[in-house]
């Protein structure tokens, strides 16, 4: 039989790769224990040439090679077959039956009944036809072994098996899981689906609860539609199942031990979810429709972007529920949610993700179209970003605004295909079958909890109205909307089904509908499970209501700094450093001993040490953060002998806070959004994102615009995130010179964040400490240095660090008499050192150089004091390296003017306006740099 089985297998046109996988898996099981497989397969495998000394890892490939060898043996080998017989069943048919099962597992979803509108044109999948496997209805009465088909029987008549396969794989659920290479996961999904033929019994109570969810979803939209006709609400109608789905997901999560659930979703259905899942008071929503608003949220946001927090009662106890605030940029909220979840998990000390569940809700066009989705999938299993899996739900209404043709919206079969990159199982489900929805919901959560990985539910539905209620969808989707018009709402379909089954009668259904409407009229919370908030894990009140100049004590003794320095340079003796790193640590040793001034890298590390030493936590991520792009940080030491890591910052003191530094995936948007989510959920952690070069932040511009700059103004959400953006004109060309300071300054208003350009090690030390010690939580945007990291003048003493003050402005440091000063040059950042060196060379005493270290909020008070010192100087200059249309000149000029003494003039010394951030030629760069410095120092 061996050769015949192999020939049948090899000659089959159906998914040879898939069969190979299947047979390999059987062989894997056989290798573990021969009793794991049926007798027929045992005989086949017993006869395979033995693999002496084959390692477990090489099993797959080794066996594949053997199979190929077998297939290539040719007629002579096959002629010599000594096939064992299996009673009345022909061996070849038996193999074909196993292939049929395999075909359904692979491709059954392509024939599943997923589209409530029945508009999908399904391809004919020949593999799912009996004839393709040389089987026919005449074999229906013959009993075959069903291999690993997890129905609980070893064998079945083909007729019964065929029916079962269709029920399991081609009903209201289309399961994609055979792309998962991990056998355990694959078997797990298989077992769960096949054992109940994708349709478990569900209790009357659950059925009624599903119906109630649909009544609520439908009732809410009808109510809003009637009360506020034409108002935008981004109705859920068509995807009504989302409401009972989310409720069962949250409830199930609670029974499985979750303490918090964080949800991210776009506008579609959001109002419905707010009221019917999170328990937002309907009267508050109605007030919002009527134009009233909550003044505490500053500028505010439209109601379908609003977040909400509540507690929710589950059979496993109450849990905390948060719906994240969301801008309209699709999908970008998802990494924010996942970051928020990571913060909550860290706070709870939960490493496996079991205590906090992220749920992200996507649109069908957006999940396929937006690159940030790929970024979050890529992050999902990485050390610094994993959260034990995310349950991702797609509200697949088959239209993206007005675009519905799949040849326009994507290049993949399903909108969810991107999830295959992490081998997530994907459950497509017909949203008009709420019981199927319930089944896949629990299954998805169990998978996430079991394997700590992402899982996707594709809720295939439709959109009853246009993109919003004022839109006319018939203009672009005429056929679809003719169908939708005639299609009964999900509540009616399910109610009719339950009435036909005798589960409920028509009067009871009417009463459910009337009761829900009455509850809305009454205006009180309509979610039975809603509880007032007590389960959230952090208190933000100490951080509320502080201005950026709130008084704080950041001082730290020199003694303490030395002690921290000692800890920073300590590492195990057998941890062999690279010679360049060893040299750097030798230098750090000299700095601690007081034989050398402190450089940037050391001061920065000391800041972190001082912060964790007092029990605060630090999380830093970014491209190359462990080492530092410019070889300066070396917070993570790599052992040259065995590649192991050691982080001195994790060994500062026994009761220290946590210190985490992760080199991030090579993405900006998702990583920065993740860190925003982390920082808005955790005020007790200095959260830092570092760009490899400052301009890399361009890739995360949407996060900067829509969350960081405006999150507090729109949503009242504080965020202490620090962004380190290497910036400076050093001849590295257009892309690695500028962190686009001007963009941050242009978005500066309402004291929304701080934009700093520290120029000394003591300044970076105290800036980072200020960000933690001060109770205020606002984003800190830092133009961080490159060449300054090693500039001989950019050093500080321990005393300067110990002072504990970040100077928003630094006055002239040389001994220059103010009365002699004719010109005051104001500047920020690295150009200061160019100016200083040149002025010293020129031996000038008529120019004072003032550094503005915080450009926003502008330090008017400190600048005023300095201006009064140089009040006789009428010639003030702003000097910058950036082209005139960039940097601080245009955006901060009004602040500079307001700081000047009376009758003083303000001029500009810097590069000419330019479309590109910097020139590419080093000689041109050098000339420009020289000119701007000369210009700034030339007293007119």
Tokens of 129: 């036809």
Residue 239 Cβ vs ligand AMP, minimum distance, rounded to whole Å: 24
Distance between CA atoms of residues 41 and 26, nearest Å: 8
Which uninterrupted H or E stretch holds 571?
none
Residue 821's Cβ-count burial label (10 Å; 0-12, 13-18, 19+) is buried
Residue 220 Cβ vs ligand AMP, minimum distance, rounded to whole Å: 22
Give the nearest residue (CB) to ligand AMP. Answer: 309
The DSSP result for 329-383, as a single string, is STTTHHHHHHHHHHHHHHHHT-SSSTTEEEEEEEEHHHHHH-HHHHHHHHHTTST
Closest to ligand AMP by CB, 114 vs 681, is 681
Tokens of 615: 């029990």
Any bridge partners for residue 823, and if so which?
A: 847, 875
Distance between CA atoms of residues 723 and 757, nearest Å: 12
Any bridge partners for residue 359, and if so which?
A: 263, 391
Residue 322 Cβ vs ligand AMP, minimum distance, rounded to whole Å: 3
Residue 719 Cβ vs ligand AMP, minimum distance, rounded to whole Å: 6
Closest to ligand AMP by CB, 540 vs 897, is 540
Residue 681 Cβ vs ligand AMP, minimum distance, rounded to whole Å: 6
Residue 687 Cβ vs ligand AMP, minimum distance, rounded to whole Å: 12
Which uninterrupted H or E stretch holds 311?
strand 308-314
Closest to ligand AMP by CB, 309 vs 423, is 309
Residue 550 Cβ vs ligand AMP, minimum distance, rounded to whole Å: 16
Q: In terms of residues, how long is the chain?
A: 940
Closest to ligand AMP by CB, 337 vs 526, is 337
Residue 297 Cβ vs ligand AMP, minimum distance, rounded to whole Å: 11
Residue 480 Cβ vs ligand AMP, minimum distance, rounded to whole Å: 38
Residue 294 Cβ vs ligand AMP, minimum distance, rounded to whole Å: 12
Contact in structure between 671 and 665 (CB atoms under 8 Å): yes
**Hey, CA dihedral for 892, 894, 896, 898, is it positive or negative?**
negative
Residue 405 Cβ vs ligand AMP, minimum distance, rounded to whole Å: 39
Closest to ligand AMP by CB, 245 vs 776, is 776
Any bridge partners for residue 905, and if so which?
A: 875
The DSSP result for 699-768, as a single string, is GGHHHIIIIITTHHHHH------EEEEE---SS--SSSS---HHHHHHT--TT--EEE---SHHHHHHHH
Closest to ligand AMP by CB, 133 vs 717, is 717
Tokens of 295: 């003044």
Neighbouring residues of 565: CB distance < 8 A, sequence distance ≥ 6: 588, 591, 592, 602, 606, 609
Closest to ligand AMP by CB, 665 vs 719, is 719
Residue 273 Cβ vs ligand AMP, minimum distance, rounded to whole Å: 15
Contact in structure between 362 and 369 (CB atoms under 8 Å): no
Expressed in angstroms, the distance from the first to the final Cα of the chain is 100
Residue 394 Cβ vs ligand AMP, minimum distance, rounded to whole Å: 24
Residue 194 Cβ vs ligand AMP, minimum distance, rounded to whole Å: 39
Nearest to 854 by CA among 828, 893, 875: 828
Closest to ligand AMP by CB, 431 vs 688, is 688
Distance between CA atoms of residues 311 and 319, nearest Å: 6
Closest to ligand AMP by CB, 183 vs 309, is 309
- Count of Cβ atoms closer than 10 Å to residue 52 Cβ: 5
Closest to ligand AMP by CB, 120 vs 540, is 540
Closest to ligand AMP by CB, 715 vs 806, is 715
Distance between CA atoms of residues 528 and 661, nearest Å: 43
Residue 539 Cβ vs ligand AMP, minimum distance, rounded to whole Å: 8
Question: Helices (DSSP H) in 228-370: which residue ranges?
Answer: 242-255, 270-276, 282-289, 333-348, 364-369
Residue 309 Cβ vs ligand AMP, minimum distance, rounded to whole Å: 3
Contact in structure between 855 and 756 (CB atoms under 8 Å): yes
Whole-Å CA distances, 448 to 257, 319, 387, 440, 443? 13, 18, 10, 12, 9
Closest to ligand AMP by CB, 629 vs 722, is 722
Distance between CA atoms of residues 435 and 408, nearest Å: 32
Catalog residues that contact ligand AMP under the rule CB under 6 A: 309, 320, 322, 536, 540, 680, 717-719
Distance between CA atoms of residues 407 and 413, nearest Å: 10
Distance between CA atoms of residues 719 and 802, nearest Å: 27
Distance between CA atoms of residues 573 and 353, nearest Å: 35
Closest to ligand AMP by CB, 415 vs 685, is 685
Strand order in the sheet with 173-176: 173-176, 426-430, 455-460, 391-396, 356-363, 260-265, 317-323, 308-314, 530-531
Closest to ligand AMP by CB, 216 vs 719, is 719
Closest to ligand AMP by CB, 463 vs 714, is 714
Closest to ligand AMP by CB, 322 vs 900, is 322
Return the DSSP state at 459.
Answer: E
Residue 753 Cβ vs ligand AMP, minimum distance, rounded to whole Å: 14
Nearest to 429 by CA among 689, 699, 58, 172: 172
Could you give the count of Cα atoms lying within 13 Å of 277 in the half-sphere of its Cβ? 31
Residue 712 Cβ vs ligand AMP, minimum distance, rounded to whole Å: 8
Closest to ligand AMP by CB, 10 vs 548, is 548
Closest to ligand AMP by CB, 233 vs 717, is 717
Q: Which long-range contacts (CB under 8 A, 24 or more apart) does 117-125 make?
A: 117/398, 117/462, 117/480, 117/483, 117/484, 117/487, 118/483, 119/398, 119/479, 119/480, 119/483
């Amino acid at each position: 039989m061996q050769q015949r089985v192999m020939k049948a297998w090899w000659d089959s046109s159906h998914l040879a790769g898939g069969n190979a996988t299947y047979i390999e898996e059987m062989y894997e099981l056989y290798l573990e224990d021969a009793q794991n497989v049926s007798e027929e397969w045992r005989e086949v495998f017993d006869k395979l040439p033995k693999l002496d000394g084959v390692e477990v890892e090489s099993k797959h490939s080794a066996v594949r090679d053997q199979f190929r060898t077998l297939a290539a043996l040719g007629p002579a080998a096959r002629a010599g077959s000594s096939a064992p017989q299996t009673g009345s069943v022909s061996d070849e048919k038996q193999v074909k039956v196993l292939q049929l099962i395999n075909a359904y597992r692979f491709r059954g979803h392509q024939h599943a009944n997923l589209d409530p509108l029945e508009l999908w044109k399904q391809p004919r999948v020949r593999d799912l036809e009996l004839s393709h496997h040389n089987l026919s209805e005449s074999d229906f009465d013959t009993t075959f072994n069903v291999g690993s088909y997890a129905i609980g029987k070893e064998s079945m008549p083909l007729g019964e098996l065929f029916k079962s396969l269709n029920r399991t794989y081609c009903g209201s659920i289309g399961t994609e899981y055979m792309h998962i290479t991990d056998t355990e996961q694959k078997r797990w999904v298989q077992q769960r689906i096949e054992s109940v033929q994708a349709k478990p019994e569900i209790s009357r109570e659950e059925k009624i609860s599903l119906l109630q969810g649909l009544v609520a979803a439908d009732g809410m939209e009808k109510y809003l539609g009637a009360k506020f006709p034409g108002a935008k609400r981004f109705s859920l109608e068509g995807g009504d199942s989302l409401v009972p789905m989310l409720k069962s997901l949250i409830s199930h999560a609670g029974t499985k031990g979750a303490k918090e659930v964080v949800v991210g979703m776009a506008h579609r259905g959001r109002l419905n979810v707010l009221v019917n899942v999170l328990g937002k008071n309907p009267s508050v929503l109605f007030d919002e429709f009527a134009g009233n608003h909550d003044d505490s949220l500053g500028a505010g946001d439209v109601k379908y972007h609003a977040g909400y927090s509540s507690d929710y009662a589950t059979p496993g106890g109450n849990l905390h529920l948060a719906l994240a605030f969301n801008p309209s940029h699709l999908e970008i909220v998802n990494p924010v949610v996942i970051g928020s979840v990571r913060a909550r998990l860290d706070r709870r000390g939960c490493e496996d993700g079991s205590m906090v569940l992220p749920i992200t809700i996507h649109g069908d066009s957006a999940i396929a179209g937006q690159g940030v989705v790929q970024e979050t999938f890529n992050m999902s299993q990485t050390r610094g970003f994993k959260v034990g899996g995310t349950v991702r739900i797609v509200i697949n209404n088959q239209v993206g605004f007005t675009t519905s043709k799949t040849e326009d919206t994507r290049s993949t079969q399903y909108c969810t295909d991107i999830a295959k990159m992490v081998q997530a199982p994907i459950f497509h489900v017909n949203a008009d079958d709420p019981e199927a929805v319930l089944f896949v919901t629990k299954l998805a959560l169990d998978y996430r909890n079991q394997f700590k990985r992402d899982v996707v539910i594709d809720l295939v539905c439709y959109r009853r109205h246009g993109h919003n209620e004022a839109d006319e969808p018939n203009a672009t989707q005429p056929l679809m909307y003719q169908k939708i018009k005639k299609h009964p709402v999900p509540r009616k379909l399910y109610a009719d089904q339950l009435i036909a089954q005798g589960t409920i009668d028509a009067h009871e259904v009417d009463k459910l509908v009337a009761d829900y409407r009455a509850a809305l009229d009454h205006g009180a919370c309509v979610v039975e499970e809603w509880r007032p908030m007590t389960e959230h894990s952090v208190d933000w009140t100490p951080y509320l209501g502080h201005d950026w100049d709130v008084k704080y004590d950041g001082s730290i003794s020199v003694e303490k700094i030395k002690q921290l320095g000692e800890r920073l340079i300590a590492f195990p003796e057998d941890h062999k450093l690279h010679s360049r790193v060893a040299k750097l640590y030798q230098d750090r040793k000299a700095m601690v001993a007081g034989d050398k001034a402190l450089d940037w890298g050391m001061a920065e590390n000391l800041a972190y040490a001082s912060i964790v030493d007092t029990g605060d936590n630090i999380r830093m991520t970014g491209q190359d953060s462990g080492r530092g792009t410019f070889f300066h940080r070396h917070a993570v030491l790599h052992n040259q002998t065995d590649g192991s890591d050691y982080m001195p910052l994790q060994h500062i003191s026994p009761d220290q806070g946590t210190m985490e530094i992760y080199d991030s995936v090579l993405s900006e948007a998702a990583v920065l959004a993740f860190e925003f989510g982390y920082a808005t959920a955790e005020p007790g952690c200095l959260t830092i994102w570092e760009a490899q070069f400052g301009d890399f932040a361009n890739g995360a511009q949407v996060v900067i615009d829509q969350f960081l700059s405006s999150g507090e103004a729109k949503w009242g959400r504080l965020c202490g995130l620090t962004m380190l953006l290497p910036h400076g004109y050093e001849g590295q060309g257009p892309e690695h010179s500028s962190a686009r300071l001007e963009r941050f300054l242009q978005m500066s208003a309402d004291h929304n964040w701080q934009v700093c350009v520290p120029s000394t090690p003591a300044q970076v030390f105290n800036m980072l400490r200020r960000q933690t010690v001060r109770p205020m939580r606002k984003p800190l945007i830092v133009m961080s240095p490159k060449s300054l990291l090693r500039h001989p003048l950019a050093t500080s003493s321990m005393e300067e660090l110990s002072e504990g003050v970040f100077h928003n402005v630094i006055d002239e440091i040389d001994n220059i008499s103010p009365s002699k000063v004719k010109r005051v040059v104001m500047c920020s950042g690295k150009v200061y050192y160019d100016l200083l060196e040149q002025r010293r060379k020129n031996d000038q005493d008529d120019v004072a150089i003032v550094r503005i270290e915080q450009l926003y909020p502008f330090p008017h008070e400190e600048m005023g004091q300095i201006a009064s010192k140089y009040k006789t100087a009428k010639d003030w200059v702003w000097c910058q390296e950036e082209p005139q249309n960039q940097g601080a000149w245009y955006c901060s000029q009004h602040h500079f003017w307001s700081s000047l003494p009376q009758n003083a003039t303000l001029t500009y010394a810097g590069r000419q306006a330019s479309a590109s951030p910097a020139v590419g030629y080093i000689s041109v760069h050098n000339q420009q740099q020289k000119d701007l410095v000369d210009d700034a120092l030339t007293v007119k």
